[in-house]
C-alpha cells in the first residue's frame, strides 16, 4: 500500500535477499550448462565439427571461472561489509604458489638439470638441498592444506591487527596494498626460494595427469566451475542468514552494530579470512591452468583490477561480481590482442565511468530497469 508511493530502487531492494535466494538455481544451471556443453564440445566432437570447442577456449573459460571466484571473494568483504581490500591478489597468489610448489616437486627428474629433488631454479642457484619450507610439498594433501592455511593465516593476522585497532576506510585499503606490495618485493628475491622473478613454471603433471592433455584441461576447468558453484551457494547461504544481516549492518553503521551487542571486529576478521580462502582456492585452480605463477601476480595493480570487476558487475549480490569478472576479462582478452599498452587506461576509464554513471554496476542497471517497468 504505502510501498507503491516509494521510489522504485527502494522498494526494489526490499526483496534483495529473496531475489538472491531465487537466483541460486538459475546461476548453477547456467554455470553447469555452459561448462558441460564446453567440455563435451571439446572431448566428443572432432576439430572440424561445428560443435568443437578448442582447448584454448576451455583454458580461457577455466581462467575466467577462477577470476569469477576471486571477484566473489572481493565482493564478500567489499560489497557486503564495506571493507575495500586492495590486496586480495596476495591471497590469490599465495594459494597459487602453494599449489605451484607441489607441481614443481611433481616434475621430479624431468627438469632441465634432471635433479630428482631440487627444482631447476635451485640447481641453477647452486643450492644443495631443499629449504625446510619446501618439505612435504611433494604430497598433494599437504600442498592443498597449505593453499588454505597460509593465506588464511595471513588474513587472520592482518585482520586481527587492523580490525582490532579499528582501522577503517582509506587507511585500511592502503594497508592491504602495502601487504601485497611487500609480498611482491619479497617474492622477487631469489634467496627466498620461490624462483625469484621467474616464479614457478614448466609444470608437467598434477596427481599423475598430464597438464597438457585435453582431458586434464577440461577436468581443471570443470573443477573451477564446481568450486565457483560451491562457493556461491555457501556464500549466498551465509549472506542470507542472520550473519549476513549483521555483516550488512556493520557495513552501514558499525558503531550502531556495536551498541546492540555485536563484536564487530570478530565478524570482520572471520569474514576477511573466509574471503581470503576463496581467493586462495581461486589461485590454486588458476596456476595449473595457466602453467605459471610469478611475483607479478602480487602486483598492486592486479588487486585493483579485481575491485574494478566487482564495481562493474555490481556490489553486494555475488552474481554481479561474477558477471563483472567475466565481462571485464573478456574485454581485456580482446583489447590486449589489439592494443595492449592502452589496457590500463581503458581499465581506469571503465572504473571512473562505472563509479559515476553506474554506482550499482551492471546488475543495478538491470534491477532499476525491472523495477521501473513494474511501476
Partner 1 sequence: MTLLKDIRNSMPRDQVWPFLIEKRPPKIDASHRVLLYVEGLSVSFDGFKALNNLNLYIDDGELRCLIGANGAGKTTLMDVITGKTQPDEGEVWFGQTIDLLGKKEAEIAELGIGRKFQKPSVFEAQTVFANLELAMRMNKSIWPTLLARLNSAQSDRIAEVLGVIGLTEHSGLLAGALSHGQKQWLEIGMLLVADPRLLLIDEPVAGMTAQETERTAELLTSLAGEHTVVVVEHDMEFVRSIARTVTVLHQGAVLAEGSMQDVQNHPAVIEVYLGEDS
Binding site for partner 1 (CB under 8 A): 1-3, 6, 10-11, 13-14, 238, 241-243, 245-246, 248-249, 252-253, 255-264, 266-267, 270
Could you count the other beta carbons within 10 Å of the beta carbon of residue 236? 21
The residue among 270 and 351 lying less far from partner 1, judged by its C-beta, is 270
What's the closest the beta carbon of residue 341 comes to partner 1, in angstroms? 41
Cβ-in-10-Å burial (0-12, 13-18, 19+) of 263 comes to: exposed
Place of cell 570443470: 222
Tally of CB atoms within 10 A around 140: 16
Distance CA 118, CA 209 (A): 21
3 state SS of 15: coil
Smallest separation (angstroms) from partner 1 to the CB of 18: 10
Name which of 110 and 258 has its Cβ closer to partner 1.
Answer: 258
Q: Read off the C-alpha cell for 309.
A: 570487476
Three-state DSSP class for residue 292: strand
| 259 or 357: CB nearest partner 1 | 259
Output the smallest distance, CB 190 to partner 1, in A: 42
Half-sphere exposure at residue 147, Cβ-oriented, CA atoms within 13 angstroms: 24
* Residue (2 or 128) nearer to partner 1, CB: 2
Q: How far is the CB of 59 from partner 1 (least distance, A)?
A: 37
Q: Among residues 62 and 244, whose Cβ is nearest to partner 1?
A: 244
DSSP strand E in the chain: where?
200-201, 205-206, 209-210, 292-293
DSSP string, 139-171: SHHHHHHHHHHHHHHHHHHHHHHHHHTT--HHH
- Least separation in angstroms between CB 159 and partner 1: 13
Please give the full DSSP string across 162-208, using - where no structure is assigned.
Answer: HHHTT--HHHHHHHHHHHHHHHHHHHH-GGGSS-GGG-EE---EETT
> CA–CA distance from 84 to each of 40, 169, 231, 269 (Å)?
39, 7, 20, 14
- Rank residues 98 and 278 by Cβ distance to partner 1 and give the closer one: 278
Nearest distance from C-beta of residue 250 to partner 1, angstroms:
10
CB of 259 to partner 1, least distance (A): 5
How large is the C-alpha radius of gyration of the chain?
22
CA distances (Å), origin 165, targets 36, 118, 168, 172, 265: 47, 43, 9, 11, 9
Q: Which three three-digit cell numbers place residue 75?
A: 565482493
List the grid coordinates of 257.
552494530
Judged by beta carbon, residue 212 or residue 241, the one nearer partner 1 is: 241
Ramachandran category for residue 274: left, alpha or beta (phi over 0 → left; psi -120 to 50 → alpha): alpha
Tell me the closest approach of the beta carbon of residue 257 to partner 1, in angstroms: 8
Q: Which is nearer to partner 1, 13 or 23 (CB)?
A: 13
Q: Kindly tell me which of 109 and 252 has the beta carbon lying closer to partner 1.
A: 252
Q: How far is the CB of 354 from partner 1 (least distance, A)?
A: 20
Complex with partner 1: residue 267 or 286, whichever CB lies closer: 267
Q: How far is the CB of 92 from partner 1 (least distance, A)?
A: 25
Amino acid at each position: 500500500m504505502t510501498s507503491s508511493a516509494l521510489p522504485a530502487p527502494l522498494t526494489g531492494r526490499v526483496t534483495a535477499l529473496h531475489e538472491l535466494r531465487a537466483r541460486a538455481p538459475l546461476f548453477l544451471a547456467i554455470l553447469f550448462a555452459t561448462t558441460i556443453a564446453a567440455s563435451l564440445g571439446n572431448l566428443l566432437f572432432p576439430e572440424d565439427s561445428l560443435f568443437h570447442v578448442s582447448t584454448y577456449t576451455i583454458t580461457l573459460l577455466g581462467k575466467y571461472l577462477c577470476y569469477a571466484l576471486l571477484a566473489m571473494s572481493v565482493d564478500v568483504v567489499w560489497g557486503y561489509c564495506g571493507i575495500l581490500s586492495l590486496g586480495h591478489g596476495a591471497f590469490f597468489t599465495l594459494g597459487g604458489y602453494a599449489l605451484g610448489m607441489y607441481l614443481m616437486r611433481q616434475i621430479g627428474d624431468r627438469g632441465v638439470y634432471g635433479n630428482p629433488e631440487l627444482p631447476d631454479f635451485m640447481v641453477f642457484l647452486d643450492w644443495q638441498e631443499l629449504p625446510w619450507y619446501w618439505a612435504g610439498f611433494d604430497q598433494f594433501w599437504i600442498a592443498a592444506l597449505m593453499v588454505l592455511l597460509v593465506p588464511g593465516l595471513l588474513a587472520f593476522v592482518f585482520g586481527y591487527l587492523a580490525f582490532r585497532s579499528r582501522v577503517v576506510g582509506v587507511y585500511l585499503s592502503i594497508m592491504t596494498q602495502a601487504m601485497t606490495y611487500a609480498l611482491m618485493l619479497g617474492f622477487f628475491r631469489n634467496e627466498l626460494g620461490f624462483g625469484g622473478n621467474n616464479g614457478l613454471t614448466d609444470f608437467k603433471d598434477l596427481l599423475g595427469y598430464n597438464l597438457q592433455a585435453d582431458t586434464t584441461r577440461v577436468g581443471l576447468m570443470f573443477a573451477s566451475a564446481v568450486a565457483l558453484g560451491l562457493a556461491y551457494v555457501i556464500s549466498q547461504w551465509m549472506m542470507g542468514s542472520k550473519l549476513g544481516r549483521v555483516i550488512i549492518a556493520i557495513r552501514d553503521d558499525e558503531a550502531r552494530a556495536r551498541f546492540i551487542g555485536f563484536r564487530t571486529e570478530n565478524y570482520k576478521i572471520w569474514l576477511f579470512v573466509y574471503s581470503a580462502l576463496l581467493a586462495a582456492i581461486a589461485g590454486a585452480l588458476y596456476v595449473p591452468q595457466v602453467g605459471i605463477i610469478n611475483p607479478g601476480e602480487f602486483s598492486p595493480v592486479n588487486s585493483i583490477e579485481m575491485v574494478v570487476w566487482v564495481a562493474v558487475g555490481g556490489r553486494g549480490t555475488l552474481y554481479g561480481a561474477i558477471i563483472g569478472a567475466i565481462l571485464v576479462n573478456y574485454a581485456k582478452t580482446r583489447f590486449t590482442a589489439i592494443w595492449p599498452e592502452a589496457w590500463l587506461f581503458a581499465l581506469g576509464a571503465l572504473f571512473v565511468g562505472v563509479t559515476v554513471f553506474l554506482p550499482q554496476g551492471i546488475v543495478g542497471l538491470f534491477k532499476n530497469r525491472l523495477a521501473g517497468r513494474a511501476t
